[in-house]
Amino acid sequence: MMTMTIEFLERHPRVALIHAPTPLEFLGGLSRRYGASIYIKRDDCTGLALGGNKSRKLEYVLAEALAMGADTVLTGGGLQSNHARQTAAACAKLGLKCILALKRSEAVCKDERDRNGNLLLDLLLGAETRRIDAAVELDAALAAIAGEVSAAGGRPYVIPLGASTALGALGYVCCAAEIVAQAQGLGLKPTHVFVASGSGGTQAGLMAGFEALGADIATLGVDIDANPQRTRQRVGDVLANTRELLGLPGPSQDQGRLRMLTGFAGQAYGEPADAGNAAIRQLAGGDGILLDPIYTGKAMSALIAMLEHREFQRTDCIVFVHTGGVPGLFAYHRAFTTDDAQ
């Protein structure tokens, strides 16, 4: 199955966007503090316009857009969407027009002078940004814009929330294969992988990948949406479709093992949480690693909580997947600078 999966990934149409393999590094500070063996998969270093997990998914998704003859790519998300920024960068690289539908948020951008973080980068990367109401369904907004583009003679290609389709998840099947190969090279046997889960494609791709490669690794998603049932459902749906695309036999063994850690998202999606911010400070000061307040900081706070509660065996080997998002720090700088200002 392992060779078949690698061959499938190599055969599948893909555009080259990222620096891979991304490093798998020992997290010395955190490991020493808790007497554990913790590694970090540096997908914040995928390379495209400050990196992140979505670039892996876009390698497969945008190959389809090009094959279909699209000239305009539409996607969206929150105002500080990392997915939107990486899509804007990929489109700039591939010569495609990019339109982003971004949900309004007073918390991170009161007016255009406050344009910062990912939103500033969307502008520099040449994307057209449109604000949509937070209550509007993203799919409906994108369908309306696609209609407009077609009516004007363009050829739109819509990427749904987070590029979390089976095609997008193939990017994380590749990441699973990298982790397995790198761990083998380092003489490690990972037992747990931690990842932030929102639209679900990253966790689903990792789970399908480990299953296809015969690697017995528990993949723990951390809900960052403050809506764990929905996040779990999204991961389950993308997992089922990805398994089908990969041709994995039988019912998923992993569906029943789908693990979603809850209680770390704070009040709502897009709102920093105290434990997540504390995790950001700890990793920055203790390991020289920058995390972000909406995804990776919250995911790291879940890992730290489990370390604090001694939920691992001494023989366990933990891999934290750093999915990027650091440009978001600059939009949320007030969450970190108030202490210093006093």
Size of the site for ligand PLP (CB under 6 A): 20
Contact pattern from residue 159 through residue 188 relative to ligand PLP, giving x for each residue in contact according to CB under 6 A and a dash for the rest:
---x-x------------------------
Catalytic residue (choose from 37, 81, 164, 301):
81
**Shortest separation between residue 329's beta carbon and ligand PLP, angstroms:** 11
Q: Which of 261, 324, 331, 332 binds ligand PLP (CB under 6 A)?
A: 324
Euclidean distance between CA atoms 339 and 245, whole angstroms? 50
Task: Give the residue at shortest CB distance from ligand PLP.
Answer: 325
**Phi/psi at 260 (5° precision):** -125, 120
Q: In this structure, which amino acid lies at residue 96?
A: L
Residue 251 makes CB contacts below 8 A (sequence gap 6+) with none
Using CB under 6 A as the binding rule, whether residue 236 contacts ligand PLP is answered as no
* Binding window for ligand PLP (CB under 6 A); candidates: 24-32, 146-154, 190-198, 210-218: 190-198
Residue 250 makes CB contacts below 8 A (sequence gap 6+) with none
Max Cα distance, the chain (Å)? 62
Side-chain half-sphere of 83: how many Cα atoms within 13 Å? 26
Query: DSSP for 7-76?
Result: HHHHHS-----S--SPPEEE-HHHHHHHT-EEEEEEGGGS-GGG--THHHHHHHHHHHHHHTT-SEEEEE
Closest CA to 87 of 134, 125, 32: 125
- Whether 81 is catalytic: yes
Q: Which of 157, 295, 312, 320 binds ligand PLP (CB under 6 A)?
A: 295
Instruction: Using the minimum distance from each CB to ligand PLP, give the nearer residue, 149 or 299.
Output: 299
Contact pattern from residue 64 through residue 103 relative to ligand PLP, giving x for each residue in contact according to CB under 6 A and a dash for the rest:
------------------xx--------------------
Using CB under 6 A as the binding rule, whether residue 297 contacts ligand PLP is answered as no
Triad 84, 150, 89: Cα angle to 5°: 25
Q: Which of 132, 323, 327, 329 binds ligand PLP (CB under 6 A)?
A: 323
* Binding window for ligand PLP (CB under 6 A); candidates: 22-30, 65-73, 197-205, 277-285: 197-205
Using CB under 6 A as the binding rule, whether residue 196 contacts ligand PLP is answered as yes
* Binding window for ligand PLP (CB under 6 A); candidates: 17-25, 68-76, 198-206, 240-248: 198-206
Instruction: Using the minimum distance from each CB to ligand PLP, give the nearer residue, 14 or 83.
Output: 83
Euclidean distance between CA atoms 77 and 69, whole angstroms? 24
Euclidean distance between CA atoms 42 and 22, whole angstroms? 6
Using CB under 6 A as the binding rule, whether residue 241 contacts ligand PLP is answered as no
Parallel, antiparallel or unpaired: strands 156-158 and 128-132: unpaired
Q: Which contacts (CB < 8 Å, 24+ apart) does range 106-113 have?
A: 107/270, 107/271, 108/79, 108/80, 108/270, 108/331, 108/332, 109/79, 109/331
DSSP state of 159: P
* Binding window for ligand PLP (CB under 6 A); candidates: 3-11, 26-34, 260-268, 320-328: 320-328
Using CB under 6 A as the binding rule, whether residue 201 contacts ligand PLP is answered as yes
**Shortest separation between residue 244's beta carbon and ligand PLP, angstroms:** 18
Contact pattern from residue 249 through residue 288 relative to ligand PLP, giving x for each residue in contact according to CB under 6 A and a dash for the rest:
----------------------------------------
**Shortest separation between residue 292's beta carbon and ligand PLP, angstroms:** 6
Parallel, antiparallel or unpaired: strands 317-322 and 72-78: unpaired
Euclidean distance between CA atoms 183 and 37, whole angstroms? 12
Provide the annotated active-site residues: 81
Residues that bind ligand PLP in the complex, under the rule CB under 6 A: 52-53, 82-83, 162, 164, 196-203, 292, 295-296, 323-325
